[in-house]
Amino acid sequence: MTILYNEPMKNRSSFRTGGIADMVILPENAEELVNALSQYKNAVILGNCTNTLVTDKGIRGVVIITADVKGLSVESDGEEGIITASCGESMSSLANFAMINSLTGLEFLYGIPGTVGGGIYMNAGAFGGEVKDVVKEVTLFSAERGIFTLRSDQMEFGYRTSILKGKSYTVLSAAFRGKKGKRAEIEAKMNEYMASRKAKQPLEYPSCGSTFKRPEGYFAGRLIEECNLKGKAVGGAMVSTKHAGFIINYNSATSDDILKLIDCVKQTVYKAKGVMLEEEIKIIGE
């Protein structure tokens, strides 16, 4: 287990911005994670910090980063396979593992840069798939309940949300279902999805992916584009010219630059379109 003091969160957040966290704990297995959670009950939990903006003032207190809690295993179950993944595995590693084991259904996770824990919290999704479609059950820890398991239908999954929002439950691991398929076809689909990401998303710049949720009946990116906000910048933050749904750190942005730009986009879209965008990204810190 690694413990870091006064850790600049810009080293952690995929926006590459954010102030210092007083203390960062990086457990390397579930036991160390449970011990850390039991000791620091108010700690902030993060996976890969690919959906989280940390404010410039940073975080007073303890952050537990689960990205080093790794482990993947598979069991055959008739025409299905059940993959158990530890919370810190990346969703790309999970998709890759499914492919190596000729299990189909998890291809859409390939290229989402977050962890299994973050993906479950967010019910992450892409290319028509969502985490909820492939989760069988989730093993969680909370100081009140200890270690317990919830089935997928008990997870209250919704669009980019789950039961974990507002609860102090931490994902330790999750079991995913895949159907037996052909490895070459699975790999081809993953490569197709990755090519599509590279073509459409500004992966060459730091970001947290789509900044805003999709408002009912609209696409956030299209609304932003129709308001001529592509390329709109505040300090070093910019609405991507490649994908209007992404705010990028194109030139040493601060979190404050990003927050001001988010506000500007929301106000402009609301005035022009009457739609109030809601952040998909999580904002934490002082």
Ligand X SMILES: Cc1cc2nc3c(=O)[nH]c(=O)nc-3n(C[C@H](O)[C@H](O)[C@H](O)COP(=O)(O)OP(=O)(O)OC[C@H]3O[C@@H](n4cnc5c(N)ncnc54)[C@H](O)[C@@H]3O)c2cc1C
Residues 6+ apart with CB under 8 A from 145: 169
> How many CB atoms within 10 Å of residue 19?
18
Question: Is 248 near ligand X (CB under 6 A)?
Answer: no
Tokens coding 261: 């730009």
The active-site residue out of 210, 214, 240, 255 is 210
Q: Nearer to ligand X by C-beta: 51 or 254?
A: 51
Ranges of beta strands (E only) in the chain are 2-8, 20-26, 44-46, 52-54, 59-65, 72-77, 80-86, 103-104, 125-126, 129-130, 135-142, 146-151, 170-180, 207-210, 233-234, 237-239, 246-249, 282-284
- Least Å distance, CB 77 to ligand X, is 25
Which of these ranges, 1-9, 19-27, 179-187, 205-213, lies near ligand X under the rule CB under 6 A? Answer: 205-213
Give yes or no for residue 117 binding ligand X (CB under 6 A).
yes
DSSP letter assigned to residue 230: T
Of the candidate spans 116-124, 146-154, 253-261, 263-271, the one that interacts with ligand X by CB under 6 A turns out to be: 116-124
CB nearer to ligand X: pick between 199 and 272: 199
Q: Does the protein bind ligand X through residue 209 (CB under 6 A)?
A: yes
Work out which of 20, 24, 36, 49 binds ligand X, going by CB under 6 A.
Answer: 49
The strand pairing partners of 27, in sequence order, are none
Taking CB under 6 A as the rule, does residue 114 contact ligand X? yes
How many residues line the site for ligand X (CB under 6 A)?
A: 32
Handedness of CA 165, 246, 69, 102 (dihedral sign): positive
Active site residue 145: no
Question: Least distance from C-beta 69 to ligand X, angstroms?
Answer: 8
130 is catalytic: no
Please identify, among the stretches 48-56, 77-85, 253-261, 262-270, the one whose residues bind ligand X according to the rule CB under 6 A. 48-56
170 makes contact with ligand X (CB under 6 A): yes
Ramachandran category for residue 228: left, alpha or beta (phi over 0 → left; psi -120 to 50 → alpha): left
- Residue 125 touches ligand X, criterion: CB under 6 A: yes
- Other CB atoms within 10 A of residue 158 CB: 12
Contact criterion met (CB below 8 Å) for 67 and 27:
no
- Which residues are tagged catalytic? 160, 210, 280
Binding site for ligand X (CB under 6 A): 14, 45-52, 66, 87, 112-115, 117-119, 121-122, 124-126, 164, 170-171, 201, 203, 207-209, 282
